[in-house]
Amino acid sequence: MQWFKSAVDWLCNPPILFTLIFIVFFLAYLWKKLTWLWTPRACVVIFLAGGLFVAYGLTDPNFRAIVTKPDNVPIVGMLFLTGFFSWLSMYLGTRNDARIGKNLPPEEKLESEIKILVWPDLVYTEFLCMILWSVLLIIWSIYLKAPIEEPANPAKTPNPSKAPWYFLGLQEMLVYYDPWIAGVLLPGLIIVGLMALPYIDPNKKGNGYYTFAERKWEILTFQFGYLVLWVMMIITGTFFRGPNQNFFGPFERWDVHKVVPLSNINLSEVFWVKMLNLGLPGNWLVREGLGIILVLAYFTVIPMFLGRTLFKRFFEKMGMVRFQILMFLLLCMVSLPIKMYLRWLFNMHYVVAIPEYFFNI
Amino acid sequence: MPDDPKASAARSPAPAAPAAGEGVTRRGFFSWIGVAWISFSGAMGVASVSTLRFFFPNVLFEPPQTFNAGFPEEYIPGQVDNRFKESFGVFMVRDDSSIYAIKAVCTHLGCTPNWLEAEFKFKCPCHGSGFYITGINFEGPAPRPLERYRIVLADDGQIVVDKTKIYREEKGEWKDPEAFIAA
Ligand code: FES
């Protein structure tokens, strides 16, 4: 089975893994031939496969060490839950879509007409859930020790140093961005952007019932940001980042001395030194001119272009201001994978690098 | 206390008029409340002041900002010396022509980098920034080189590292005569 392990390790190299996930994601949601994914049978098959994979992986010492770490056990559970609920929403959505196609009301409409008593029906259910969860938590706390380490010491940073799991997405962003952007700007934009959603998208379809066909674009955008970026980055940070923040496959030994050549290069160096053979200009504005122009163009030309072509309908429906806000948020989100690929494929350090003023993009 | 219950009832339809003879007047009641409020606010005030006081500890166990780092001969050329990393957060480095003191704080987000002898580089365990022995950043997200502390020779020939002054490469400050010791 060594070939299988090597194959998985190779696939889990982030450039390959993320590319695969992008493809799988869009195919699963958009390719008509794959709608069987949203049936209970497919769900059972996928979960069995996932469970088998984990079970097999547990026979490998390296895989076991990562997955059964008390920190990581809940993440494994969460992955299955995230997968299940993403599937469930699509399953219910496609079922409703079929009903709506036949001019029937969505299932939730029928349900809403059934009367259920709070007492005893709801309260009993809640009571049972409470007892079962308490039992689970107690057993969990007995069998998995809290991952407590030696007293903190500023001179001794554990290697690798990892944030709590829910921050690993942020930590992963920090690998590609300046702390100001990855730690302040982007998280702020995520929150502001989520709050702005109801104003950007006043579409009333899908209120109170599951649907996919009626809100394809919205669901796709959200799930892209959530599943493909956020959850995938938590997975990467948890399972694939080893000592010195190097990438490791799940079956690979965490070798502290693994050497990965990662010499980074700024866009300004590529442009002035490699292409023009001139050496870096002393003035930072001249030096970073190209990068600044590129970033500005990214945020102005692309929305203008898309508004005329691909997103013409959105542009007309939403009006200038709303469309610009939407495009800005969207471009910020997409800038993350762009930056990741630039780093992986070209070792690009920063597109705009002005360390004199702590400003790097 | 109004003697006539009818009159008091006419003024205010209090549902629970105090029973006769209990001795609580309106004025008396308010003065008690006043005392209670004043003492309550006083207690809260004292509590907040003493909470604020916590921000200014009596003793501060901070290592001194300037320290003696021994004689230049103690350092081997081409090596990074870790002996002051724990106590002062400083890497002492000697190369062919100079000795300098690198601040052991990553310029990305402030973790403490490690010196990897075998790979011959500083590597930060938080987001993987790497630095050459000079402190110049070459991999990972750190936007600028590690900073250096002021370093001078005292009269007795010992090295003194002064952490109050910092030299940054991107500002061209490493050429400053106090950013290194010629050795
Ligand atoms: S703090 Fe050192 S790489 Fe982020």
pLDDT of residue A156: 78
Are B112 and A183 a contacting pair at CB < 8 A? no
Please indicate, yes or no, if residue B46 is contained in any of the structural domains: yes
Q: CB of A174 within 8 Å of any CB in chain B?
A: yes
Asked if A137 contacts A146 with a C-beta cutoff of 8 angstroms, the reply is no
* Co-location of B113 and B75 in the same domain: yes
Q: How far is A236 from chain B (nearest CA, A)?
A: 13
- Burial annotation B63-90 (CB, 10 A radius, 16+ → b, else e): eeeebebeebeebeeeebbeebbeebbb
pLDDT of residue B10: 47
Q: Distance (Å, rounded) from C-alpha A44 to C-alpha A308? A: 44
Please indicate, yes or no, if residue B60 is contained in any of the structural domains: no
Range of the domain at B22: 5-54
**CATH number for the domain harbouring residue B175:** 2.102.10.10
Q: Distance (Å, rounded) from C-alpha A196 to C-alpha A221? A: 14
Are B140 and A245 a contacting pair at CB < 8 A? yes
* Co-location of B133 and B156 in the same domain: yes
Which residue out of B109, B112, B122 has the highest number of ligand 1 atoms within 8 Å of its CB and is therefore the one to mutate? Answer: B109
pLDDT of residue A274: 86
Q: Work out how many CB contacts closer than 8 A connect A with B.
A: 79
Best CA proximity match to A162, nearest among A58, A61, A261, A69: A69
* Co-location of B49 and B73 in the same domain: no
Asked if A299 contacts A331 with a C-beta cutoff of 8 angstroms, the reply is yes
* Co-location of B35 and B84 in the same domain: no
* Co-location of B49 and B71 in the same domain: no
* Co-location of B70 and B46 in the same domain: no
Please indicate, yes or no, if residue B82 is contained in any of the structural domains: yes
For residue A358, what is the nearest residue in chain B, using CA coordinates?
B143
For residue A262, what is the nearest residue in chain B, using CA coordinates?
B139
Please indicate, yes or no, if residue B161 is contained in any of the structural domains: yes
Q: CB of A57 within 8 Å of any CB in chain B?
A: no
The amino acid at B147: E
* Co-location of B136 and B81 in the same domain: yes
**Minimal-distance CA residue to ligand 1 atom 1:** B109
* Co-location of B33 and B120 in the same domain: no
pLDDT of residue B1: 42
Q: For chain B, what is the domain count?
A: 2
Atom of ligand 1 nearest to the CA of A179: 4
Q: Is the CB of B137 under 6 A from ligand 1?
A: no
Please indicate, yes or no, if residue B59 is contained in any of the structural domains: no
Q: What are the C-alpha distances in Å from B164 to residues B65, B90, B161?
A: 6, 13, 9
pLDDT of residue A79: 92
pLDDT tens string, chain A, 361 residues long: the values are 889 999 999 999 999 999 999 999 999 999 988 888 999 999 999 999 999 999 999 999 999 999 988 888 889 999 999 999 999 999 999 999 999 999 999 999 888 888 888 988 899 999 999 999 999 999 998 988 887 888 888 777 888 888 888 889 999 999 999 888 888 999 999 999 999 988 888 788 888 899 999 989 889 999 999 999 999 999 999 999 998 888 999 999 998 888 887 888 888 888 888 888 888 887 888 888 899 999 999 999 999 999 898 888 888 888 889 999 999 999 999 999 999 999 999 988 899 888 878 788 8
Segment 135-164 of chain B within 8 Å of chain A by CB: 137-141, 143-144
* Co-location of B124 and B148 in the same domain: yes
pTM listed for this prediction: 0.82
Q: Which residues of chain B have pLDDT under 70?
A: 1-22
* Co-location of B125 and B150 in the same domain: yes
Q: Model ipTM?
A: 0.81
* Co-location of B160 and B103 in the same domain: yes
Query: Which among B141, B144, B170 has CB closest to A174?
Result: B141
Q: How far is B95 from chain A (nearest CA, A)?
A: 22
pLDDT of residue A70: 85
What three-state secondary structure class fits B84? coil
Ligand 1 centroid, distance to B142 Cα (angstroms): 6
Please indicate, yes or no, if residue B61 is contained in any of the structural domains: no
Please indicate, yes or no, if residue B74 is contained in any of the structural domains: yes
* Co-location of B111 and B155 in the same domain: yes
Asked if A174 contacts B131 with a C-beta cutoff of 8 angstroms, the reply is no
Residues 6+ apart with CB under 8 A from B159: B68, B69, B70, B71, B72, B92, B99, B151, B152, B153, B181
